Structure 1
Amino acid sequence: MANPYDKARELAGELQGSEEFTTLKGLHDQVNSDEVAKRMLDNFRNVQLGLQEKQMQGQEITEEEIQEAQKQFELVQQHEVISKLMEEEQRMSQLVGDINKIITEPLEALYGTGEEQ
């Protein structure tokens, strides 16, 4: 019987060799080699992280903070490489989500989703 950990490592290798990962890595390298783009993306992600932390702590997010996040988002969307990177991150996230769904199907079948019990 196959070891699930070995299969997971095999799957990780497949992901790493996928077109999605290769494209994502190339765009990531492009952004990191461009000081301005990297700073823009880092600023955007720091604003996002700050808002997420406040939300998780149950703190109110101000209208000013929402506007700042929107401004940062619009700024990074105007940068062609960052915009492509974010699109590719979304594609990779979808791929990993789909794989996760497939992997957890046996558990869902075993425990049910609550609707079939």
Structure 2
Amino acid sequence: MAQLQEKAQELKEALATSEEFKSLQSLHQQIEEDDIAKKMLDNFRQLQLELQQKQMQGVQISEEEAQKAQQQFELVQQHDLISQLMEAEQKLSVIIGDINKIITEPLEEIYGNPDQEQN
């Protein structure tokens, strides 16, 4: 167990020193210092959270809410810093997904891959 935790710490340090993480961190700081960008992003994320909570509760999202979310997304995408941040978040998300896939391979040997169709 200690060896696994040690390897996890090494992976954490590698992630924290990666260019992808440093880019995300820098963009996040720039947005924190830009009142307009911060407010736009906060509003967008709040709307996302509200819609996700409704979905988790089984509440149908109205057409109006869906359109509002789409408009908010298009608005934040037009802001250069926010657009760069979202792109950096996506890149890091892919890396973390790839890491997760690698470290769960031994479990797939036992349980199979839930992403693959069963025959």
Identify the TM-score tier after normalising by the shorter chain. over 0.9
Q: Which moved more, 1:102-111 or 1:87-96?
A: 102-111
For residue 73 of structure 1, what is the aligned residue in structure 2? 73
* Cα deviation, residue 112, structure 1: 2.3
SS at match of 2:104: helix
* Cα deviation, residue 16, structure 1: 0.3
Partners of 1:60 and 1:54 in 2: CA distance: 7
Partners of 2:6 and 2:85 in 1: CA distance: 30
Provide runs of 4+ in structure 1 moved above 4 Å: none
Q: Give the partner amino acid of 1:99.
A: I
For residue 100 of structure 2, what is the aligned residue in structure 1? 100
Cα-to-partner distance string for 1:68-99 (whole Å, 9 max, x where unaligned) = 10111011000001000000100000000000
Q: Give the partner amino acid of 1:49.
A: L
Structure 1 unpaired stretches of 5+ = none
Cα-to-partner distance string for 1:9-63 (whole Å, 9 max, x where unaligned) = 1100000000100001000101111011000000000011111000000001011
Q: Give the partner amino acid of 2:27.
A: L
SS at match of 1:61: coil
SS at match of 2:31: helix
For residue 26 of structure 2, what is the aligned residue in structure 1? 26
* Cα deviation, residue 111, structure 1: 2.3
Structure 2 unpaired stretches of 5+ = none
Partners of 1:106 and 1:19 in 2: CA distance: 29
1:53-72 paired onto structure 2 within 5 Å? 53-72=53-72
TM-score (norm 2): 0.92
Partners of 1:30 and 1:110 in 2: CA distance: 45
SS at match of 1:113: coil
Q: Give the partner amino acid of 2:10.
A: E
Partners of 1:11 and 1:23 in 2: CA distance: 18
SS at match of 1:3: helix
